[in-house]
């Protein structure tokens, strides 16, 4: 369900938005809606990537093999 919102913008910006929307064969509302949808989708992808990265950090990485001894690490 769509719901209207009120947005106050400078008249100069509105004029530029109308021109941009006309060039893209859409309305100012359509232009703003698409941009807001992109903004929300980008944020959702970021948050999912953040959650995935934190989950990976919590679970740790298994690189296989055995840990090297202290002597082996400091061998010249």
Decide if 14 is inside a domain. no
Q: Which domain, by its residues, includes 38? A: 29-59
Measured distance CA(36)–CA(4) in Å, rounded: 14
**Per-residue pLDDT tens digits for 11-70:** 999 999 999 999 999 999 999 999 999 999 999 999 999 999 999 989 887 777 788 888
**What does R_g of the chain's alpha carbons equal in angstroms?**
26
The 8-class DSSP code of residue 65 comes to S
For the purposes of burial, counting CB atoms within 10 Å of the CB of 17, is it exposed (0-12), middle (13-18) or buried (19 or more)?
Answer: middle
What pLDDT was estimated at residue 31? Answer: 97
pTM: 0.70
For residue 57, the SS3 value is helix
Decide if 7 is inside a domain. no
Measured distance CA(73)–CA(66) in Å, rounded: 13
How many independent structural domains does the chain possess?
Answer: 1
**Per-residue pLDDT tens digits for 23-39:** 999 999 999 999 999 99
């Amino acid at each position: 369900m769509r719901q209207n919102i009120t947005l106050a913008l400078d008249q100069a910006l509105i004029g530029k938005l109308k021109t941009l929307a006309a060039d893209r064969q859409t309305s100012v509302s359509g232009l703003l809606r698409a941009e807001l949808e992109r903004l929300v989708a980008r944020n959702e992808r970021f948050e999912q990537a953040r959650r995935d990265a934190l989950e990976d950090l919590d679970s740790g990485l298994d690189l296989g093999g055995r840990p090297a001894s202290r002597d082996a690490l400091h061998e010249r």
